[in-house]
Amino acid sequence: MNRMLGDKPLSTIFRLIVLSVVVGVVLALFGMSPFELLDSLRVTLLRVYHMGYSAFGWLFQYFLLGAVIVVPIWLISRLWGMMNGRDRA
């Protein structure tokens, strides 16, 4: 149990409680509540989910754009290494 928590369980729990109170005070100073924070997280996840399909198209375009440069350089470096007798892993 000590290995998983990094210290004695009661000590870890106490530090987590103190840190939670400090973070709670800081968030309250910014006018945030736990419910607003959770709702904001929910809205963010929904937005990411709804734009997910277009994000994959966007990601694929950047992948192709980068692969046009990266793959030939990788291939040339592998061939160069084989010609020099060094096979890199």
Higher pLDDT: 4 or 81? It is 81
| CA–CA distances in Å: residue 50 to residues 38, 44, 57, 60, 82 | 18, 10, 13, 17, 47
- Residue-level pLDDT at 83: 83
pLDDT at 2 over 70: no
Where does the pLDDT of residue 87 fall: very low under 50, low under 70, confident under 90, or very high at 90 and above?
low
Quick check: pTM over 0.75? no
